[in-house]
A and B are shown apart, each in its own frame.
Chain A
Amino acid sequence: MKEFLMLILLLPLLGFFLSGLGRKTFHKKTISAISCGVIFLSFLLSYFQFLDVVKSGVVVFDYFNFIKVGTFQIPFSLQIDQLSSVFLLIITGVGFLIHVYSASYMKAESTEHYGRFFSYLNLFIFFMLLLVLGGNFVILFMGWEGVGLCSYLLIGYWFKNNEYNYAARKAFIMNRIGDLGFLIAIFWLIAKLDTTSFSIIFSSESLAKLSSFDITAITLLLFVGATGKSAQIPLYTWLPDAMAGPTPVSALIHAATMVTAGIYLVARCNVLYSLAPITQTVIIIIGLSTAILAATIALKQNDIKKILAYSTVSQLGYMFLALGLGAYSAAVFHVLTHAFFKALLFLGSGSVIHAMSGDQDIRNMGGLSKQLKITYATFLIGCFAIAGIPPLSGFFSKDAILLSAFEKSPVLYWLALVGALLTAFYMFRLFFLTFSGKFRGTKLQKENIHESPMAMTIPLIILAVLSIVGGFIGIPEIFIHGGDRLSQFLSPVIGTQNKLSVSHTTEYLLMGLSTIFIIATILLAQKKFTKYQPTSESKLGKLIENKWLVDELYNKIMVNPINQLARVLNDVFEKSGIDAVVNGVGKLVHYSSRQIRLLQNGLVGNYILLMIISMIIIFTFQFFLKK
């Protein structure tokens, strides 16, 4: 069992080494077989682990002492419980499908870069598994940093393009800002409790040692880390730029798995968060405003991947809303369904981009439904799922969130519903612009339109099926007796949630209401965008298209002053301070060696003289100065 768990973790690492080191020797097929194979094995093992967890519950394994300072110890420990096993399945399952997809998608790359791509992907899976399996905050943090690194590497995968490198840097730095909060939280916990292990921190004795100020501060700091990783206000702008990476990367890292690490973190620490009402309020505000802001930006974007990126930000906002409301299992549920349909949408968009010979602008698309039949069908399912049409997966998870929002306050419900309607609107704008109407691209593109190969469509189909049925594991009590299986399954980790106080009638009513609204929105979008003609934007439209100028604002208030400060430091401190010292040392050595060199003039007499003087000094020391 102990080695078994380690094996899940180490298999992707093995794949990383094999495909990374063999990138120049192995054939492309070997590389993809290795990396897909290790992930598939990992998935199988995760599945057995999942079955075990159903029986055995929470288990923590200590492997070795990772850090030991005096009495303070941080073991290298892995923890497997209900929450991490669900994430294990998502990561390895969706990860495997995306690996298979990318094996075909990246075919045009040269073998060396192909190997590099797969080694990064495997490394990413390794760190992500480390993140969700970590039995204490330090191990979790290692995984956390590792996925950030892989994200950086993969966004900048086409490193010859400076724009992409810039995007990668932006993602990394924004993540680091959040990580600072996370780190401080870890130090705070160490200072107060002298441990980082989850099992000890979340026990009632440890919680009793923390004052309410401590808990609020720690949870807020952890949340800062989560906003960085999960792209929430104010640290969300990196995610749309991260679309510079290859599409499978966007699907895996920037939609299905890594960005949900923040959700995982908060869900993992739910015991702390439940004790910090202030933090919860903050999370609700941030989550909801992110959801709506990102949704409005998505309305006017024209890049197919950017729309999906903003949609991801918006959906993550929903998940945080759920976390803030204390509906942790609803958030995890949404993570699960979101992983399915967002991976599906991204992979579908990859298929579209493939067909369009690399063009990502939806204004140039249109009428693709005839040629790309499978992509069309699966994309439609994805859109329905994200919009929340019953009985697709997105409906149930979104409904669970909306319901808990209603329970808290109807205002929240209405705001969240507006966000959901915006989601439906922009998704179907994307859908209709892409697949219906007339083709608006160039002639060359039109001739090259083709359906993607099997290796790409099969993952699409599997994900589409999962997007349809995925919701049923969390189907609410009112539909089937013994429903809400997911939250029951998660209850040992997340704790039993208070029963819904909303009556069944209200629940039905709310569901019906949201469904009607969403269908109406979809119809509106269909009417508006089926026969799309490019028109000039209004002023507000322009503002939205420019993402509310948030990037420019950040540049003005943060990036430019820091750049200027750095320039001043470079010019003044670096050149006349550090450089002067370094060069001065060099000059001193040079000068003194030039002087000392003169002693070695080849005259034997001088050597003997020096020898005598040295002897005198040594004798003096020996006989008179030594005690």
Chain B
Amino acid sequence: MGITAILFWTLSTLAVFSALMMVVSKNPVYSVLWLILVFFAISGHYLLMNAQFLAIVNIIVYAGAIMVLFLYVLMLMDLKKDTEQKRNRGILFAGVLAGGCLLLVLVAALLKTDEASVLVQTQVGNIGLIEELGKILFKEYLIPFEVSSILFLSAMVGAVVIGKK
């Protein structure tokens, strides 16, 4: 078992565990923190696949900006731990069962495919570097990139309008 495999398993375990903890935590603040951990694990995966640009963006945008925004909202609302009432057991059971079934079905479907063991390039490869992605982004995807700025603008306007009401 090489260093890649060890890293992969460590990061995967961390991601799944943190995700589970996020779902089951009673306190929303803990949930946010667990989710940030998930994002870090995923960024680790990105780094493992040498997608440096996405790893950085993931940490800056998700773990940094978005999750801070979440925390900020939570603090603003001052939600107590027990504000969330218990869902009745039937719904809880049904939700877990449905999710589990979906997992089972998808995994089973995956196991039936032929190309399941195609390898993923790890550690090397330069497509994930900022230089490479930047070239493509500003050459071939310039217009979508600019359009996304308009999307941001409109989201900003929307958030302000909703928040002012």
Contact = CB atoms under 8 A, between A and B. Distances in A.
B105 A619 contact: yes
Contacts of A605: 91, 95
Interface in A537-580: none
Interface in B58-94: 91, 94
A616 B108 contact: no
Interface stretch (A437-445, A454-462, A504-512, A607-615): A607-615
B101 interface: yes
A64 interface: no
A609 B109 contact: no
A623 B95 CA distance: 23
A612 B99 contact: yes
A612 B98 contact: yes
B105 A620 contact: yes
A51 B99 CA distance: 93
Contacts of A623: 105, 108-109, 112
B94 to A, nearest CB: 6
Given A623-B108, A623-B109, A623-B112, A615 B94 contact: no
A609 B101 contact: no
Nearest to B105: A619
A51 B106 CA distance: 90
Contacts of B94: 609
A605 B94 CA distance: 11
Interface string B38-56: 0000000000000000000
A213 interface: no
Contacts of A622: 109
Contacts of B102: 612, 615-616, 619
Interface in A594-627: 605, 609, 612-613, 615-616, 619-620, 622-624
Nearest to B110: A623
A616 B105 CA distance: 7
A616 B100 CA distance: 10
A619 B103 CA distance: 11
Contact of A619 (B91, B95, B98, B109): B109
B105 to A, nearest CB: 5
Nearest to A605: B91
B109 A616 contact: no
Contact of B98 (A616, A620, A624): A616
Contacts of A619: 102, 105-106, 109
Contacts of B91: 605, 609
A615 B109 CA distance: 13
Contacts of B112: 623
Nearest to A619: B105
A304 B19 CA distance: 105
Contacts of A620: 105
A617 to B, nearest CB: 9
A623 B109 CA distance: 6
Contact of B95 (A609, A615, A616, A624): A609
A605 B91 CA distance: 9
Most buried by A among B94, B105, B112: B105
A619 B112 CA distance: 13
A612 B98 CA distance: 7
Contacts of A613: 98
A624 B106 CA distance: 11
B105 A609 contact: no
A117 to B, nearest CB: 73
Nearest to A617: B105
A612 B91 CA distance: 13
Nearest to A622: B109
Which of B98, B99, B108: most chain A CB closer than 10 A? B98
Nearest to B91: A605
B108 A609 contact: no
Contacts of B95: 605, 609
A609 B106 contact: no
B142 to A, nearest CB: 36
A623 B105 CA distance: 9
Contacts of B106: 619
Given A605-B91, A609-B94, A624 B99 contact: no
A144 to B, nearest CB: 69
A619 B108 CA distance: 10
A609 B102 CA distance: 11
A614 to B, nearest CB: 10
A605 B101 CA distance: 17
Contacts of B108: 623-624
A619 B94 CA distance: 18
Interface in B86-141: 91, 94-95, 98-99, 101-102, 105-106, 108-109, 112
A615 B102 CA distance: 8
A615 B106 CA distance: 10
A613 B98 CA distance: 6
Contacts of B99: 612
A609 B112 CA distance: 26
A610 to B, nearest CB: 9
Contacts of B98: 609, 612-613, 616
Contacts of A624: 108-109
A306 to B, nearest CB: 84
A474 B102 CA distance: 98
A361 B124 CA distance: 119
Contacts of B109: 619, 622-624
B26 to A, nearest CB: 18
A602 to B, nearest CB: 15
A605 B99 CA distance: 13
A542 B117 CA distance: 109
B85 to A, nearest CB: 13
B148 to A, nearest CB: 28
Interface string A135-158: 000000000000000000000000
A609 B94 CA distance: 8
A622 B99 CA distance: 18
27 contacts: A605-B91, A605-B95, A609-B91, A609-B94, A609-B95, A609-B98, A612-B98, A612-B99, A612-B102, A613-B98, A615-B102, A616-B98, A616-B101, A616-B102, A616-B105, A619-B102, A619-B105, A619-B106, A619-B109, A620-B105, A622-B109, A623-B105, A623-B108, A623-B109, A623-B112, A624-B108, A624-B109
**Which 10 residue pairs spanning A and B have beta carbons closest together?**
A623-B109, A612-B98, A619-B105, A616-B101, A616-B102, A616-B105, A613-B98, A620-B105, A609-B98, A612-B102
Interface of A: 605, 609, 612-613, 615-616, 619-620, 622-624
Interface of B: 91, 94-95, 98-99, 101-102, 105-106, 108-109, 112
Given A615-B102, A623-B109, A623-B112, 13 more contacts: A605-B91, A609-B95, A609-B98, A612-B98, A612-B99, A613-B98, A616-B102, A619-B105, A619-B106, A619-B109, A622-B109, A623-B105, A624-B108
